[in-house]
Amino acid sequence: MSYLPYALAGWIFVVGLYGVVSSRNLIHLAVCLTVMQSGTYVLLLAIGYKNGAAAPIFRPSHHPAVDPVVQALTLTDIVVSVTVVALILALALAAHKESGSVNPEEIADFSG
Amino acid sequence: MIGFAIAGAGFAALVFWALVGLPDFGHYHWPYGNALNAIATPERHATNVVGITVFDYRGLDTLGEEFILFASVVGVSLLLRKDPEEHVPADEVRSDPIRALGAVAVVLLFVLGLWVVAFGYVTPGGGFQGGVALAGAFLLVYVVGGYRQYHSLLPHSPLEMAEAFGAGAFAILGFVGIVYAGAYLGNFLGLGNAGSLYSAGSVPLLNWATAIEVCAALVVLFSEFLKIYMLPAASWTPEEGPR
Amino acid sequence: MSTILAFPVALPLAGAAFVAFTDGWLPDRVKELPAIAIAAATTVISTIILVRTERMTLVHWFGGWEPRHGLALGIGFVAEPLGAGMATLAAALVTASLVFSWRYMTEAPRLYRVLMLVFLAGMSGFALSGDLFNMFVWFELMGVAAYALAGYAVERLGPIQGALNFAITNTVAALFILFGIALLYGATGALNLAQIGRTLGGHSVDGLVVVAFTLLIAGLLVKSAAVPFHFWLADAYAVAPAPVCAVFAGAMSEVGLFGIARLYWTVFDGPIGPHVGAVRDVLLAVGIATAIVAAVMAFLQRHLKRLLAYTVISHVGIALCGIALLDATALGGAANLVLSHGFIKAGLFLACGVLLREFRGLDELALRGRGRALPLLGALWLLAAVGLVGFPYVGSFLGHSLVDDAAIEHAHRWLPATLMVATGVSGGAILRAGARIFLGWGPRDDPLLREEPPEEVPEETASMPAMLAITTGVIAIGVGFSLIPGLEDRSEHAADRFRDQHTYVDRTLFGKVRTYGPSAPVVIHRATPASIGYGLGAGLIAAATAGFGLYRRRLPAGTRQAGRRWLEPSVDGLRALHTGVVGDYVMWITVGTAVIGGIWALTLVS
């Protein structure tokens, strides 16, 4: 039972990857990337958890607290993921403008 | 898809095999997090350990993260630069109750954002979280007031300069840290009293620089996307129309 | 004063913000100057760091957070010769590109300059960082700037497709890396490379270590574009503007390899040590497959930038073989390959920029013979091709000979011959293109090469003399690498230091400084007869490949029929795999990761 949070993180990650591979719409693909990212957040936060401890905010007084480092890492990751998804969405908009489609298979302009 | 099914199953198997090797959930015992929890308040007079980690212990990560946001917004501006004629379309007029409630909501959200930024190293919050709330307040102006009000309230060029200012200020504060504290991003003001606004040395400065940058960056991002969205459909799809 | 280590990162970042802030106020004539000045200053600083690291490894802890009792509290930068060399290479290439693109970029030039500086900061940070999550942050910074730069010519579908494939595949790679970092944090509670390595030393190799290793290596292999993770690179490099491609090809692809070497030697060498054969074999297999597949694909291209993109992949494969041998000489050879290839490749992409300005297109067949108007460029192209092939004492010869020597020492006698074939074929593709364009040889038509989309053309304001001068300079530096005295001993010595995990840990976590010296004698590398033989052989293969490409109609009909029957299915199959659809690319990434992970799962667990 104690591996459930980790298993959840792994499952979200793998499902997101499946979504990226099988996607036929760039917007859907960008959202699947955010799903994969959520998997990594859950993993990080689960690793830092301590039973019976509270958030690392020591006001008014000190108490047992969970790991603050993974929370800082997750904060950084969220910003990174927002920025990358913004770029991909902008590219999807530009692709739609050029070709009328957001299907990756239809915008494949060159290959080989 | 058969190829992916097999590979995907193999990949998933590897991932789950790895997860089994992790220490038990709920039993974090490593020294790094515990050390930071122990020394953050005595040494930096900050009560939000996550905030002080983001801006002081691991401040270089935050510098990089801030410039990732900066680069992404610059990139979106670059990618969506094909300027349609500056066409401000006919907005639907919002009803009076919506505008009244909306005005109240915008003000409240704005104040909340400022609060979250200001106390970022004391209680949960910080430049990033508060900056996003502030940007949300501006987006709320679009939702309740329509595009015209949003567009006139938030001109593009000063916002881009504000974004550059926020990002540059963070980098330059790092150099100031070299002068006063001997290391890049060193902490250099008086430490004050833990639990009050005056604490944690130079972290408040970094905090506000981040808030300015994040708010300006997100508002520019919204503007870029809204600009495309507000165009009438006929002016930017190709002649044969969507497939 | 170790604070100088902050400058290669902080200076370009502050500079990017400055350029973004002030660009509207500067007069047109001087708009380009701040960015060039900042990039040049960063190059100078990185070179100073490189020279200083020869005596000792430099360490700087950001925020002043020194480690306590071996526990790293903050983020540290650790500069040793290979990392500092990587940072210097990146800075030099970005400076050259910015000077080259003096008035070459007509649209949104301010945004272009800002992104180039940010990109430089990301590469420098990745090369110098001693903290695993910090490396990830710089990796993403490089990525974000690169995705936008690749999609610069956004009014055509090709660049949008290229930028999308680039962004999506590299983001998936970054997520693999992040998952691996989380696993390692769970296993060791540390983010500092030295501390992870030290804690992991006492850890047995179980599923966690193997899969973390696999995910991290796979993510970095995607960045380096090794087979089968390489599909995105040709799409992206074919459409990015020429000066941007120069920086990509010269520095970005190699940075992934640097990451692999750094991670292996600092973190995983301890626990994996006894089973190192499995790691060596898998990485060698990947490297060889990359070198050969990419060389063949390069030969099948008609669009010059796409052809060069595949040769970039091929050379990454060769450098990966050098790293895979897990030996100081080979690692030194790989470092030399990265340096010489970096400059030559960048020069070739810049030459494409010149061709584009002059002839408004980059189709090899359409440009046939027209290059006769640019004899200097033709000579440079030929010189670059010879340098890439590894002809004795030209260009990448030093790197190749070191890798070959190491391979023979490890009883992989077949490796130098295989690499010789790969360099020969890819060099031959470049030679064929050069001969067709600058000499007018070969037929006007070639069914083997398929149609490619048109290319964006810069405006007339681009300055031809400046472009030619920079191209000449960059190629000359790359070609002259094998003749730099003392480079061989210094790179082997640097590689030895790079592999020494105990000294690394002592220096970063416990502050035990160790000085190295005196410097090695300043002599030119004396090559073994075998190396010279391989170099000549590669040259011959290149000439034969180019000749085959140009004149194969003169072969007797029977040979041609036989050749077609044997080779066509595989060539067509290889081509069909490169579909241009990003979902397929990510599927190949998953397949590659699963295969590598599976092999290591079976062989590394103790």
CA dist., res. C601 & res. B184, Å (int): 42
Of A58-62, B140-144, C266-270, C325-329, the range with the lowest mean pLDDT is A58-62
Average pLDDT of span C379-385: 89
In a domain, B195, yes or no: yes
User: Which of helix, strand or coil describes residue B91?
Assistant: coil
Q: Are C540 and C424 in contact (CB under 8 A)?
A: yes
In a domain, B167, yes or no: yes
Average pLDDT of span C340-362: 88
Q: Which of B14, B161, B191, B202 to mutate to test the interface with C (most CBs of C within 10 A)?
A: B14
Average pLDDT of span C390-407: 81
In a domain, B161, yes or no: yes
Average pLDDT of span A15-41: 93
> Who among C137, C140, C578 is closest to A112 (CB)?
C578
Q: C79: which DSSP letter? A: E
Q: What is the pLDDT of residue C203?
A: 80
Of B65-79, B197-211, C237-251, C396-410, the range with the lowest mean pLDDT is C396-410
In a domain, B158, yes or no: yes
- pLDDT tens, C421-467? 888 899 999 998 888 888 888 887 777 776 666 666 655 566 788 78
Q: Which domain holds residue B105?
A: 45-234
Q: What is the pLDDT of residue A1?
A: 64
CA dist., res. C180 & res. C215, Å (int): 6
With CA atoms as reference, report the closest residue to C356 among C307, C309, C308, C305.
C305
pLDDT at residue C119 tops 90: yes
With CA atoms as reference, report the closest residue to C601 among C286, C274, C202, C206.
C206
Q: Is residue A37 very low, low, confident or very high in pLDDT (cuts 50, 70, 90)?
A: very high
Number of domains in chain B: 1
User: Identity (one letter) of the amino acid at B104?
Assistant: V
> Who among A29, A37, A39 is closest to C168 (CB)?
A29
Of B116-125, C27-36, C160-169, the range with the lowest mean pLDDT is C27-36
What mean pLDDT, rounded, does chain B reach? 85
Average pLDDT of span C166-194: 94
Q: How far is B95 from chain A (nearest CA, A)?
A: 31
Contact yes or no for C114 and B71 at CB 8 A: yes
Q: How far is C56 from chain A (nearest CA, A)?
A: 31
What six digits make up the tokens of C437? 């364009």
Cα–Cα distances in angstroms (integers) from residue B96 to residues A49, B101, B142, B160, C215, in the given order: 48, 9, 15, 32, 56
Q: Peptide bond before A60: cis, by omega within 30 degrees of 0?
A: yes
Q: What is the pLDDT of residue B239?
A: 44
Cα–Cα distances in angstroms (integers) from residue C435 to residues C365, C468, C592, in the given order: 11, 19, 37
Q: What is the pLDDT of residue B148?
A: 75
Q: Are C205 and C604 in contact (CB under 8 A)?
A: yes
Q: Which residue of A has its CA nearest to B84?
A: A97
> Who among B30, B49, B73 is closest to A68 (CB)?
B49
Q: C77: which DSSP letter? A: E
In a domain, B36, yes or no: no
- Rounded to an integer, what is the distance from CA B21 to the centroid of its chain? 34
Average pLDDT of span C312-321: 92
Most confident of A14-18, B97-101, C329-333, C557-561: A14-18
User: Which of helix, strand or coil describes residue C129?
Assistant: strand
Average pLDDT of span A26-43: 94
pLDDT at residue B86 tops 60: no
What mean pLDDT, rounded, does chain A reach? 89
In a domain, B133, yes or no: yes
Q: What is the pLDDT of residue B240?
A: 43
In a domain, B179, yes or no: yes
Cα–Cα distances in angstroms (integers) from residue B204 to residues A58, B43, C490, in the given order: 18, 16, 46
Q: Are C155 and A98 in contact (CB under 8 A)?
A: yes
- Could you write out the DSSP letters of every residue in B100-124? HHHHHHHHHHHHHHHHHHHTTTTSS
- Could you write out the DSSP letters of every residue in C490-519? HHHHHHHHHH-HHHHHHHHHH-------SP
ipTM: 0.96
- List the end-to-end C-alpha distance of chain C, in Å, as a whole number: 44
pLDDT at residue C245 tops 70: yes
Q: How far is C117 from chain B (nearest CA, A)?
A: 10
Of C461-465, C561-565, C577-581, the range with the lowest mean pLDDT is C461-465
CA dist., res. B117 & res. B132, Å (int): 10
Which residue has better confidence, B66 or C362?
A: B66
Residue C363 main-chain phi, psi, to 5 deg? -85, 120
Contact yes or no for B4 and C61 at CB 8 A: no
- Rounded to an integer, what is the distance from CA B73 to the centroid of its chain? 11
Q: Is residue B241 very low, low, confident or very high in pLDDT (cuts 50, 70, 90)?
A: very low
In a domain, B37, yes or no: no
